[in-house]
Each structure stands twice: as structure tokens, then as C-alpha cells.
Structure 1
């Protein structure tokens, strides 16, 4: 059966997306604190799908070998996600392979999670790669976080302790804001202060 048939048609499913370090977590935390709405996070689901002994974990080890095992956690032989990110960042073919593996798995898991909240009229799904991974069809509307590249860059440098060059490269791996804007319903302006997007959220939720 088509997994999309599991979705409740009259449910409001908001897909929240935006570029890396654009402020999605801050906005998600605000919604979690002020609104009684379930929040599903694609990144959290992705982590679950590559835990030891899962299907995703086994396939990744088959492809990359033991080089991606976190040696600091030998007891559970967990994947070193930072090392994995570094590898796929430098090797486009590896990036393409892992996206083909994980994106459908995450999407199916996200749909399963939606069905758990079938009685909730509204849910928010935080999906960083919503457009890149083609999650549009499970959303009833898409909210895009707007943030200038310079602010993204500074946040990335501070958060991940990387160089300016690496920060720009990480940002440029994703679709540009201009491209994402074309397919989004709501823009949450996170360019200067929080008042703009807070006002928008209060009006819409």
C-alpha cells in the first residue's frame, strides 16, 4: 500500500524548513514552549535509523566499512556521525548514495509518526532537507526560515568550530533560499530579531 495513504487528509501538516544554521531550532523551541502542537524532527528520526543493528546501520557499514565506527563508543559500535558527514561532504557519490538510502527511510518513518498523532488537527514537521529530499507531498503547507548567508556563516563557524570556507561550502550544498522560496507558503523572517517570526507564528498557530 502507498505509504501516503496512511496520512489523514484533513490534518494540517506544517513542514518547517530552512538552510543550515538559519534558526530552525530556535523557532521549533518557541513553538514547543508556547503551542500545544506535536513536533516531529527529521534529524532525530535519521539518528534513530542508523543506530546499531538497524537496517540503515548495516547498509552504511557495508558501504563505508568500519572506518566510520565511533572508537570512543566501542561497546555499542555506534556510527561516528561527524566523521560520516565529513566523508560525504568531500565525496559527492557517497553523499548521493547515503541520501538515496536514508531519505526514503526517514520519509516513511515520518509518515508513521504522523499517524500516531492522527487525532491532532495540526502537527509541525521539522525537515531541513525538505525540498532536496522531496518531502513536499506529505506537507499541507511549507514554512521557510529566512536568514542572511552572513548570519548563517557566523553561526556555523561558532557552532561547528569550522573555517569560513567550510561554512560557505556547507551552506552552498543546499538549495538556495531563493529557490526554496518559490515553493514555500510562509516565510519566517529570522534576519534580525525574533519579533517578526514570533508575530507570524502567533497569527498562524
Structure 2
């Protein structure tokens, strides 16, 4: 791994739900060979079985947020956090630092890449705009 390229392009790819962000990410990776870092993947890693974050979620909300196999029951958690802004904020405070750390780790590995795509659905909401050099918004009417 070399030194970070001074003029490295870091594309922040964002957009609403079901607008085609994954399609654009896949296209950029497959047809242009660009590395794509995906915040959604990191967020899923954050709450995987055995993680401290999943344990904290289970402690806060009880076993109702866990499936019988011990994995997160996303629909149940969604009902909690999307009806109570305080709980949504709490969840974000648990997950976002993990996601930021994963971006930092992978960006260090990609220091010699001329262009890197960061797919971040909550780019603005999570205040991550300063970690990218340009922003691409995917919109679908």
C-alpha cells in the first residue's frame, strides 16, 4: 500500500430508498473496475450475531428484537426506531461510529486507488459529506 493519492476522487453515492444506488454501484464496479465501499454492508456487520452493538440493542429492547437464531429482527427494530425519534438517534449513535471506522480502514487499504466509490444512503444525515470529494445523487421518479 502506497501513500494516499493527493487528488484521489472519493465519490459519495447517495439517494433515497429504491432509487438504484446498488445498480449504479454495481455498474461502476463491474464496468469501470472501481472499488465500492458500502455503508449498508458495514451497518449489517455492526449488528451481526456476536457483536457488542447487537448485545447493546438486545439489552435496551429485550429479546423481542432477536430472532430465534439470535440474529437481529429488523422489522421489529424498525417498528421501534421509526416510531420514536429518540430511539432512532440512539441506534444511529451505536452504528454510525462502527460504519465510520470501517470506511477509514478500507480507505487506508485503497490509498493508492485513483477513484473510490462510497455508497452512503445517509450521506447528509450522518454528516459524512466531508469524507468525500464529490457527491452523486441517484434519483428515480
The TM-score with structure 1 as length reference comes to 0.63
Equivalent position to 1:51, from 48, 51, 75: 48
Gapped regions of structure 1 (runs ≥ 5): 1-6, 149-205
Q: 1:34 Cα shift? A: 0.5
More helix by proportion, 1 or 2?
1
Equivalent position to 2:114, from 114, 121, 131: 121
Q: Return structure 1 stretches of 4+ with deviation > 6 angstroms.
A: none
Instruction: Please give the per-residue CA displacement for 1:18-55, whole angstroms capped at 9, x wherever unaligned.
Output: 01111111111211220111001000001111112212
User: Which secondary structure does the structure 1 equivalent of 2:26 belong to?
Assistant: helix
| Cα gap change, 1:8 to 1:134, in 2 (>3 Å) | farther
Distance in 1 (CA, whole Å) between partners of 2:61 and 2:53 is: 12
User: Which secondary structure does the structure 1 equivalent of 2:11 belong to?
Assistant: strand
Equivalent pairs, count: 138
Give the aligned partner of residue 17 of structure 1.
14
The TM-score with structure 2 as length reference comes to 0.90
Distance in 2 (CA, whole Å) between partners of 1:41 and 1:8 is: 21
Distance in 1 (CA, whole Å) between partners of 2:30 and 2:7 is: 25
